[in-house]
Chain A
Amino acid sequence: MIEAVGLTKRYGAKTAVDQLSFQVRPGHVTGFLGPNGSGKSTTMRMILGLDRPTAGHVTINGMPFRELPNAQRHVGALLDAKAVHGGRRARTHLLALAQLSGIPEKRVDEVLGVVGLQDVARQRTKAFSLGMGQRLGIAAALLGDPQVLLFDEPVNGLDPEGILWVRNLMRQLAAEGRTVFVSSHLMSEMALTADHLIVIGRGRLLADMGVQEFITHNAAGFARVRAADTAPHGTQTLGEALVKAGGRVLREPDGALRVTGLALPQISDLAHEADVRLWELSPHKASLEEAYMRLTQSAVEYTSTEDPRAELFEPEPLTVPAWEEDAPPEVPATTAAAFYAPPPPGAGGRPFLMPRRPGDLARGTGPEPEPEPEDAR
């Protein structure tokens, strides 16, 4: 059982984790979700006593982590697959960790078998792939056969077989009555693995509920209906009939209708009564991903924008006479090399000719003019 009360972490003016309170119960896989930079890893580090909270406290089985008498036997954690010394062999790495708590050496070979790394146990971990690193990290977490397990992004870099294995492992560990707390970005994965979700955004708690409850709360399923194109007003007639029957109808760009509030057979009956032929009538269950997106879109820390590449493109000329057959004017090599030189008069809106290879530009030789690409228009 992990219990956080008013957990807060500030770095200067930035609040990474803000008044977070939650409980992670044994016997369940609890998913920990949130956008990048929302404070998931900071929270995990505070649970493990690596970072000191600015305010609030967090306990594991009723005790702060750093006061547990035999931490490794009660708590296992995978924080970062890269947190190993690359020059050390996998088995020695685990052995050194096992020795820290007096765990017998036999256990090291056991966990190596559990994660399937027996054959590379004597390799230096520098040569490990990310997936192998994750397996090694999971092995380290399992060393003490602990009651509480924390995993930060355990399926990162794993192959599909590895992902399936981790999913089954988590569920098995939880079924044995352990507390399993796992963060992940893969929503489809979480939907299959977790029973309970804790969602944070910008360091604040957004949701703490069961997976099904979370989905129904934050996203609605719908039915997609498509009337036959052959009838002139099929879609229109159908839409009116559905609205009259109490459904809510949204029109998708390609002409299909998105219907909520009506069951599928009911929609079919209404279409039949309105004498509209249907080409599609399909149910769409809300996914965890949709629910998650809807909940966190306002809390996303790093929003991406379209890359305008403005400095690479001259605005398109407003009108291009289709009959213009002029070959592009010869560009002297010096101009092509001078990257920022203004376009020569009459260059047809092309500031410079793209060199074939980047090396051409560096050498300053300039490319030969392209053989008339504008013909394609």
Chain B
Amino acid sequence: MTAPTQPAAPTGNPAGYVSPLPEARPHLGHAIASEWTKMTSVRSTVWTLGSMVALVAGIGLFAVTRTTSIDYVNMPFTGPALFGLLVGQLSVMTLGVLTITSEHGTGLIRTTFTAAPDRFRVLTAKYVVLAGVTFTAVAGSVAVVGLTAAVLHNHAPAGVHDLRAELVGGLGGSLYVTLLGVLALAVGTLVRHSAGGVVAMLGIVLLPPLFGGMFSIWEALEPVGVLFLRYNAPAALMQLFGLPNTDVATTPGDWVHMALLVVLTGTAVAFSYVTTGRRDV
């Protein structure tokens, strides 16, 4: 083979190369900036997030406009946002899973871990960005719906409302959904597959009410069924938002639900760190 330009043989500089670029020791902030760029530069995550906001605000505001003050006698003003959030939480979980599995699915994770071999820094940044973005978006949408309802319907027929408690309830619900998103990211890290992760999360959230209903058919299994019916994600959300409940005496309190999800999410997150540090990618 004859090349038109045969480059000169390298001189073999034994001293090695020293880059003139400034050298900054990378820290978590750098990784967070990178993850933010990643999340906002791909259509799938942007659309997922956008659909979540559109669902919560859209369904919520629609419900606000169709209701009158008298409908809020037993319901907090944030109630309409809950209807949207029950659907919107699916988007949050999809976003959580996609945050990591889109990298596994495309092989980008190898490029990422080659650029940043400190994998925990990358994973932590993912958790921080996802939690921050999700909580801001969810709480913002809930607040918009709740405020609109309060402004439009806070009249005499609605009765007396403790607005502060209702706001705290809405924020609690937003935090709950954010935790579901974090759990989704942990599950995505563990299964490393988009469809697998999303299905696992759907199962965790949607199956317990179904199981509860089915188990309650037989008397022998009824205690288990009731347990499923009391402790599941949709029931927890309704409880946190302060929706009226028929059997007040037996339902667990707000913090029981929250603690349950915190323990579950914490375990999954811990496992995600262990496997990420150890696995070949």
Seen from chain A, the residues whose Cβ lies within 8 Å of a Cβ on chain B are 1, 26-29, 45, 48-52, 65-73, 75, 77, 79-80, 82-89, 92-93, 95-97, 99-103, 107, 140, 143-147, 164, 167-168, 171-172, 174-179, 188, 191-192, 195
Contacts and interface: CB of A to CB of B under 8 A. Distances in A.
Interface string B7-19: 1111111111111
B183 to A, nearest CB: 23
A52 B278 contact: yes
Contacts of A99: 30-31, 33-34, 37
Given A88-B42, A171-B10, A179-B16, 15 more contacts: A27-B16, A48-B114, A52-B280, A70-B25, A73-B19, A84-B108, A92-B41, A97-B112, A101-B30, A102-B24, A102-B26, A145-B21, A147-B18, A167-B3, A167-B7
Contacts of B41: 88-89, 92-93, 96
B26 to A, nearest CB: 4
B1 interface: yes
Contacts of B281: 50-51
Interface in B84-105: 102-103
B69 interface: no
B49 interface: no
A175 B108 contact: no
A192 B3 contact: yes
Nearest to A72: B115
A31 to B, nearest CB: 13
B110 interface: yes
Given A100-B116, A171-B7, A171-B10, A26 B26 contact: no
A301 B186 CA distance: 39
Contacts of B19: 73, 144-147
B34 A51 contact: no
Contacts of B38: 85, 88, 96
Contact of A26 (B14, B113, B118, B122): B14
B112 to A, nearest CB: 7
A82 B122 CA distance: 21
Nearest to A147: B17
Nearest to A174: B10
Contacts, number: 167
B106 A83 contact: yes
B6 interface: yes
A64 to B, nearest CB: 9
Nearest to B280: A51
Contact of A70 (B9, B23, B112): B23
B8 to A, nearest CB: 8
Looking at chain B's contact residues, the main secondary structure is loop
A262 B225 CA distance: 93
Given A52-B280, A79-B110, A87-B42, A100 B3 contact: no
Given A84-B106, A85-B108, A96 B37 contact: yes
B66 interface: no
Contact of A97 (B6, B25, B44, B115): B115
B250 interface: no
Contacts of A101: 24, 26, 30, 115-116
B15 A177 contact: yes
Contacts of A92: 37, 41
Contacts of B25: 69-70
A333 B20 CA distance: 78
A362 to B, nearest CB: 33
B246 interface: no
A66 B34 contact: no
B107 interface: yes
Contact of B117 (A66, A84, A88): A66
Contacts of B37: 92, 95-96, 99
A195 B20 CA distance: 26
A164 B41 CA distance: 33
A33 B154 CA distance: 76
Given A100-B30, A102-B24, A176-B13, A168 B5 contact: yes
A50 B110 contact: yes
B43 interface: yes
A187 B278 CA distance: 36
Contacts of B16: 1, 26-27, 147, 177-179
